[in-house]
A and B are shown apart, each in its own frame.
Chain A
Amino acid sequence: MSQSLAPECNEIKERYDTCFLKWYSEKYLRGIGTTDNNECAGLFKEYSTCLQGALKERGIDKLLEEAREDNKENDTALMGKKKCKLSETRGLRQR
């Protein structure tokens, strides 16, 4: 697996990545337990806590907030198919 930008998070990142990859190939792609990868949730939380500190320290957290804001259009286009349909029907009803 690849490294973390924060060396202190490498160990927990490696454990999480391994867990995720197993879930992705053995469950997600086979349509089993597609709601969430719960078995890796604990590891992710630990890794995330470690990473958040490192991001704050380096000032990356602020840059990420802006990037997330800019990415909203992509999110709507690639995730929100249902939402589009809903607003369409609402529009029709108003007419």
Chain B
Amino acid sequence: MKVFSNAETFNYSWEEVSTANWRKYCPWNQKSTHVVAVDTLSRTVDPETGILRTERLITCRQSAPDWLKSLMGGSMDESQVYETSYVDPRTRTVTMVSANLTWSNLINVQETVVYRPLNGTQTRFEQAAKITALCGGWQRIKNSIEDTLVKRFRENAVKGKEGFEAVLAMSRRVFAEEREREKIMMLQAQAGNIRMAAAA
């Protein structure tokens, strides 16, 4: 088993980060192109705790190394990940746990991501992944498979941070524009009321 871990700080509030997190893999993110689809499978709010639980299916397309492909005897380019996330509004924590659906007889990948507020304007991101090759046989092959995936995690984490920064910046801009539009509409409506009152 190998472990990959990573932590980042985003200069955005937890509210902004947890909202933008839902569209982390949208076209605004031009870095994490290996994620080709994100589907929501279920979504519920626990009436007692207020925790929002979401199940998603993440579809990735990323080519595997040639030696691994020949070992498996086929293309390994498309893979799926099952993700369950829990938003706790009371502790202001987002926890996301993911497991690989594809090649689960060969390898087991368990990833946990947590977003917590550091303060009013900063959010901490913590990521940990446990990677275990399950195939019987040579330890050397298992090690190679695990090392390949750890390397892949490291590369994707760098791209993920850059891509998410872009999504956060864009979200802030869009929300600000929306608020501005709402303000203008309200002012126009008020001006209209004043004109009507003056005419009457």
Contacts and interface: CB of A to CB of B under 8 A. Distances in A.
Given A24-B19, A34-B89, A67-B101, A2 B26 contact: yes
Contacts of A92: none
A80 B189 CA distance: 48
Contacts, number: 104
B37 A4 contact: yes
Interface stretch (B44-52, B139-147, B151-159): B44-52
Contact of B39 (A13, A24, A35): A13
Interface in A29-49: 29, 31, 34-37, 44, 47-48
Contacts of A87: none
B interface: dominant SS: strand
Interface in A55-75: 55, 60, 63-64, 66-68, 70-71, 74-75
Interface of A: 1-6, 9, 13, 16-17, 20-21, 24-25, 28-29, 31, 34-37, 44, 47-48, 51, 55, 60, 63-64, 66-68, 70-71, 74-75, 78-79, 81-82
Interface of B: 15, 18-19, 22-23, 25-26, 35-41, 43-53, 55, 57, 59, 80, 82, 84, 86-87, 89, 95, 97, 99, 101-102, 104, 175
